[in-house]
Every structure is written in structure tokens, then in C-alpha cells.
Amino acid sequence: MSKDDLNIKDNTSLFKEERYVQQRENKKQFEAPCSEQETAEALAYSKSAEYMEKNFSRQNVVINPHKACQPLGSVMAALGFEKTLPFVHGSQGCNAYFRSHLSRHFKEPTPSVSTSMTEDAAVFGGMNNLIDGLENSVALYKPEMVAICTTCMAEVIGDDLNSFIGNARIKGVISEEYPVAFCNTPSFVGSHITGYDAMIKGILSYLYTRSGIESKPGSGAESGEKLNVLLGFEPYTGNFAELRKILAAFDTKYTILGDHSGNYDSPATGEYEYYYGGTKLEDVPQAANALGTLSLQKYTLKKTQEYISGTWKQQISALSTPLGIKGTDKLLETISELTGLPVPASLTEERGRVVDALMDSHPYLHGKRVALVGDPDLLIGLIGFCLETGMEPVHIVCSNGDVDYNEVKFKDEAVALLAASPYGSEATVHVGKDLWHMRSLLLNDTVDLAIGSSHLKFAAKDADVPLIRVGFPVFDRHHMHRYPIIGYQGTLNLLSLIVNTILQQLDDNNSGFNFELVR
């Protein structure tokens, strides 16, 4: 085959060819489109202050919310346990959405099955679908545990998972001993972080209850269960590696409860397997005997934290995503308090190197106005990082921010954090708003940088604001999930990402004597 035969054009250039341009023009006769003038006028109006006022007054329409539905989070949670198959009680289309969304972010396959509910199941119930699905899944994919979640359809008709699983055992489809955890995850309430929490709690409570073990916090230190760690809905596999590095420096034993990093950072060896890594099922009951549990997403893991403190009677130390110097300092102090071990000298030295890097870049960060979008725990971390570097958060949108921990609402904590710094004086926190609201904010009160997921790119482009991609999902850049953003190394990574974007903007927008070699 010649080189010319392999010259396959990318869609970006292909659809600029005259034949495709003409094809699009010809289609307009069937579409009754607005004229170019009308389109331009509507676009200009959508950028106005008058439109912004109407945009913020809408109540019954949501446009591009920055959140996904509950079952997506539960699929991620299930993949955090060894040889566990996520099982979605709902339609194939729902499951395809969860799989594709996760796979596009991590660039890895997402093994997950569904009960393929259709119109019949919607009318008569999905029990037969679930029983047949369990039989086929166990036979084909040979998981050591199945973790079932629900979708809108199953929740609206009121399917009883516990009863259906019991009937599957009665029919001999699965044995009495075969582990099947489950949780209810209605897509019409909550978000992906709610679903993650529900599944983690469901798996921990199921495996602990069936083991018959009675929790004795602190009794497992010698057998390896000294500290439990919950990372939460974690879109960065690099954060798992960074946390392991930190815990290894402390030389403490620990169990990560819900570790999906193996499934989403698996090697290409020529042989595909369904399951990689994950928390061992037998380690979960033993985790009830740990000294305590460290949670890195206190708003995400509310139900799980309540279960561990209430049923396991364990001390919970709950933080938000530990970004920046102060966030990492708090993380290390918390680990030290839980384990009784001093902060290692190697981490203190690493801190010093990152502080030095922050000082190098501070002149380019100081005073930059920033817009932020993300989940509650990530936003708390990002706000803290911005404030300690002298950047000024201005617009903060959290679509799924109507959450609380220990009776403190996310918004109240965010507002208090901003009020404690002179760099937070212009900030406004918008809970329950979406990315179309953010577009109006960016167009009418401009900022220097936008920080958020790939979904923010359209609003950022309309406002001509550079986007720093942080959070979930990141579809349009590769391998960013492999780099940690927590810990001192994560702080350095985040700093490099932001300051180099700023420096690139300086090069792009300057020429002549301003086009400098050294920055």
C-alpha cells in the first residue's frame, strides 16, 4: 500500500472541502433556517447584560449542567473493588452513556453490563431481566462480585432490588453465598457524586454484614488495617499513586476503600482482561478494625462516612480535595494525627521545593481573575489553591453544590473561605447553576482564566478566555488523569499547568520587543 493510499483526512480538514460546504448549503432549503443576519443578532443579544438577567431568572429549564447522573458514579465505585462487575438495572442506552463517558475521560474500556430494560419491563417490571442478566453475566464474565445500581426507569416503576436478588437465589441462578451488592441510584435526583457515595456505602455495608465480623476499631493495626482511605469520585488515577507515595513515606499500613485506578490505568500487554486491581473483597470487613478512616471528599462521601462512624464506630477525618500547600499540609497533619506518626522529612523537603516553585511563578499568577467550575470538594481545593497563589476567584459555579457535611453547607464553607482572604472579595458562589449561566458571567464580567472540565470549553471560547482543564470529564486532552493534582507533587503539576498557559498567552498576544525569550 502506498503512502498516498494512507492519506486519510481528519474531519477538521475534510469537511472544509467545497463538496461538503455545498452540501451544507443545499440542506438549508429543507431546514427553514434563520438568515445569517438573524443568527448574528441573536448571538449578539445572548452576550448582553439584558440577556444575562433573563438567563439568571429562568427556573424550569437547565442548559448544560455541570454534573452527570447517579448511576455513572456507582459504576466507577463498583470498579474500585477486585473482580467486581458493575451491573446497571436499566436500559442499554443508559449503560452505554456511563461507559462511554468514563472511557472518553480515562481512555480505557469500562466493563459494565445492563438488564436491557425496554417497554415490556417498564410495564411489567424488570425482575426477569435482572435474573436473566445475573445468570448470563456470571457465566460470561466470571466476576467475584456483582454490584447492581438502578436507573430512572427502574426507580419510577419501583423495582425492588433486594427482592429480585433473593428470587434469583431461589431460582438457582446464583448461589446463596455469591456476593451481590446493590444500591438505589435514581438519575432524576442527585448527581454522579451521590451515586458514587451510594455504591461505596452499599458495598462496604454488604461485605461487612455478610462477614459476621464485629468491628473493633484499632484492633487490626498489627494485621495491616491501620488506616482506611476514601478518595471518592476521583477522576485522576495519578492521585491514587500520589497518595500511596505519601502513605509509604509515613511507613504506615493502610487500605484504600474503592480503588479504581487499576481499571483505569491498565497496561497494554496484548491480552485484555475485564478486571484490574481494586480493593480486595476480603479486606473490606477487616477495614472495620482500623484505627480510623481518612476521607478526601467529605461532601461526596456523606452517607459512607456516616456508615463508618455509626456502624464501625470509627473515627472519621474528612477533608475536601487536598490541593495546594495548605491543603496538603492539612492532609499530612491529619494522617499524622490518625496514625500517631510524625510527618516524614522527605515530604517536608518536597514542600520546600514546591514553595520555591510557587515563588518563581507568583508574578504571573498574582491578581489573575479566575472562573471556577467543578464538584463541591474539588472547588474547595481550587479556591484554596487560587487564594494562596494570589489569584482572584470571581465566578464559581457548582451545579451539584446543594450538599452539606456536619450541617455545614458547601456554599457556606466556600463563602467563608473566600471572605478570609483579600483575594476572594469579588467572588460569588452560584450553587445549582449551569454552564449557560457561566457563559453569561464570562461575557459580562470578564476574567483572565477559566478552570474546569472540557464542558466549559464552549463558554470559554465564546468569551475568549483560556481554559485550564481540571476535574471531570476531560475529553479533549490526553493523559491528564495520569498526573496527580493532590499533594505537593500535585500542587506543582497544577501550578505548571496554569502558569504555562498564562505564558503561552503572553507569547500568542505579543510580538516584536514584547516577544521575549525569558519569562
Helix pair 192-211, 70-78: axis angle to 10 deg: 40
For residue 387, the 8-state DSSP code is: H
The whole-number average pLDDT for the span 113-129 is 92
In this structure, of 2-16, 33-47, 131-145, 414-428, the range with the lowest mean pLDDT score is: 2-16
Q: For the chain, what percent of residues have pLDDT higher than 90?
A: 87
The span from the CA of 114 to the CA of 171, in Å, is 20
Cell 494512507 -> residue? 6
Q: How confident is the model at residue 221 (pLDDT cuts 50, 70, 90)?
A: low
Q: How confident is the model at residue 223 (pLDDT cuts 50, 70, 90)?
A: low
The whole-number average pLDDT for the span 29-39 is 87
Q: For the chain, what percent of residues have pLDDT higher than 70?
A: 98
263-274 pLDDT, tens digit per residue, is 999 999 999 999
Q: Per the structure block, which three cell numbers stand in for 315?
A: 473515627
The whole-number average pLDDT for the span 456-480 is 97
The span from the CA of 264 to the CA of 481, in Å, is 9
Rounded to 5°, angle at Cα 406 from 405 and 408: 65
The span from the CA of 78 to the CA of 340, in Å, is 32
- The DSSP string of 306-358 is HHHHHTS--EEEE-----HHHHHHHHHHHHHHHH-PPPPHHHHHHHHHHHHHH
40-97 pLDDT, tens digit per residue, is 999 999 999 999 999 999 999 999 999 999 999 999 999 999 999 999 999 999 999 9
More confident call, 124 vs 198: 198
Q: Which residues pair with 145 in a beta bridge?
A: 84
The whole-number average pLDDT for the span 309-337 is 97
347-393 pLDDT, tens digit per residue, is 999 999 999 999 999 999 999 999 999 999 999 999 999 999 999 99
- Residue 486 CB contacts under 8 Å (≥ 6 apart), including other chains: 236, 239, 242, 243, 296, 321, 322, 323, 327, 328, 331, 381
CA 119 to chain centre: 32
Instruction: Tell me whether domains 221-339 and 347-513 share a fold.
Output: yes
> What pLDDT, on a 0 to 100 scale, did the predictor assign at position 118?
92
The whole-number average pLDDT for the span 99-112 is 97
Q: How confident is the model at residue 5 (pLDDT cuts 50, 70, 90)?
A: low
The whole-number average pLDDT for the span 280-293 is 95
Write down the catalytic residue from 156, 189, 355, 408. 156
CA 410 to chain centre: 17
pLDDT above 60: residue 323: yes
499-519 pLDDT, tens digit per residue, is 999 999 999 888 777 888 888
The span from the CA of 433 to the CA of 67, in Å, is 11
> What pLDDT, on a 0 to 100 scale, did the predictor assign at position 7?
76
> What pLDDT, on a 0 to 100 scale, did the predictor assign at position 222?
58
Residue-averaged pLDDT of the chain: 95
- Residue 231 CB contacts under 8 Å (≥ 6 apart), including other chains: 239, 240, 243, 256, 258, 259, 296, 297
The whole-number average pLDDT for the span 486-494 is 98
> What pLDDT, on a 0 to 100 scale, did the predictor assign at position 220?
63
pLDDT above 80: residue 143: yes
Amino acid at 42: A
> What pLDDT, on a 0 to 100 scale, did the predictor assign at position 8?
81
> What pLDDT, on a 0 to 100 scale, did the predictor assign at position 3?
62
Q: How confident is the model at residue 36 (pLDDT cuts 50, 70, 90)?
A: confident
Class of 347-513 in CATH: alpha beta
Cα dihedral across residues 168, 171, 175, 177: positive or negative: positive
Cell 494522617 -> residue? 335
Q: How confident is the model at residue 290 (pLDDT cuts 50, 70, 90)?
A: very high
Tally of CB atoms within 10 A around 414: 25
Q: Per the structure block, which three cell numbers stand in for 458?
A: 464552549
Cell 482543564 -> residue? 469
| 403 catalytic per annotation | no
> What pLDDT, on a 0 to 100 scale, did the predictor assign at position 519?
81
> What pLDDT, on a 0 to 100 scale, did the predictor assign at position 265?
95
pLDDT above 70: residue 224: no
| 152 catalytic per annotation | yes
More confident call, 33 vs 403: 403
Write down the catalytic residue from 69, 75, 149, 152. 152
Domain chopping of the chain, boundaries: 70-211, 221-339, 347-513
What CATH topology corresponds to 70-211?
Answer: Rossmann fold (3.40.50)
Going by CATH, does the domain composed of 221-339 fall within 1.25.40.10? no
pLDDT above 90: residue 11: no
The span from the CA of 98 to the CA of 112, in Å, is 9
